[in-house]
Amino acid sequence: MELQQVVGLLAEWGSKWVRRRLSHDDLDAGLLMWDIRRTVDASRLPRARRVVVHFQFRDAPAGKRSWWLVSQQDGVDLCLEDPGFDVDVEVHAPLHVMTAVWMRDVPFRTAVRTLGLSVSGDRDLCRRLPDWLGASALAHPPVAKPRRRAASA
């Protein structure tokens, strides 16, 4: 248990001091997708049917541009080759943008509006994607929206 705490603190330190300096060469679509697969909240996905999400990173190296998350009752799988099922949601993004969303450096909706992240497909699944996608264990906590104060009389 003690070693786990030390490793966790080192990871936090590294995340704080290195994250802002990530270059394109530091990004890895495979590591990103395996981490996403590991933390998908499958309880927020429909249980009655298979859900397939196709991720495309146009700037990733050849062979690592397309990934499929397949959620079924028995869990979530990650495929580097097309599993042959109908796709419910298409996610297209530059790798650095999806990484920033995953690390919660950039809100999902901001990435859609201004940074080239696009989501298409089943309307309900697209709308709920940020809820079940999860985030890195080293992600910043979500930024709370400021509350509006009632106007004083």
CATH of the domain at 115: 3.30.1050.10
Instruction: Compute the Cα dihedral for 21, 101, 107, 16 and give only its sign.
Output: negative
Read off the pLDDT of residues 23-78 as tens digits, 9 standing for 90 and up: 666 689 999 999 999 989 888 888 889 999 999 999 999 999 999 999 998 889 99
- Which residue range is the domain that position 95 belongs to? 22-133
Q: Is residue 147 one of the residues assigned to a domain?
A: no
Q: Is residue 16 one of the residues assigned to a domain?
A: no
Q: Is residue 152 one of the residues assigned to a domain?
A: no
Q: Is residue 148 one of the residues assigned to a domain?
A: no
Q: Is residue 36 one of the residues assigned to a domain?
A: yes
CA distance 110 to 29: 21
Question: What phi, psi does 91 have (nearest 5°)?
Answer: -120, 120
Q: Is residue 94 one of the residues assigned to a domain?
A: yes
Residue 108: pLDDT band by 50, 70, 90 thresholds?
very high
Q: Is residue 4 one of the residues assigned to a domain?
A: no
Q: Is residue 10 one of the residues assigned to a domain?
A: no
Residue 118: pLDDT band by 50, 70, 90 thresholds?
very high
- Number of domains within the chain: 1
pTM beyond cutoff 0.85: no
Read off the pLDDT of residues 91-106 as tens digits, 9 standing for 90 and up: 999 999 999 898 888 8
Q: For residue 46, how many C-alpha atoms fall within 13 Å in the half-sphere facing its CB?
A: 11
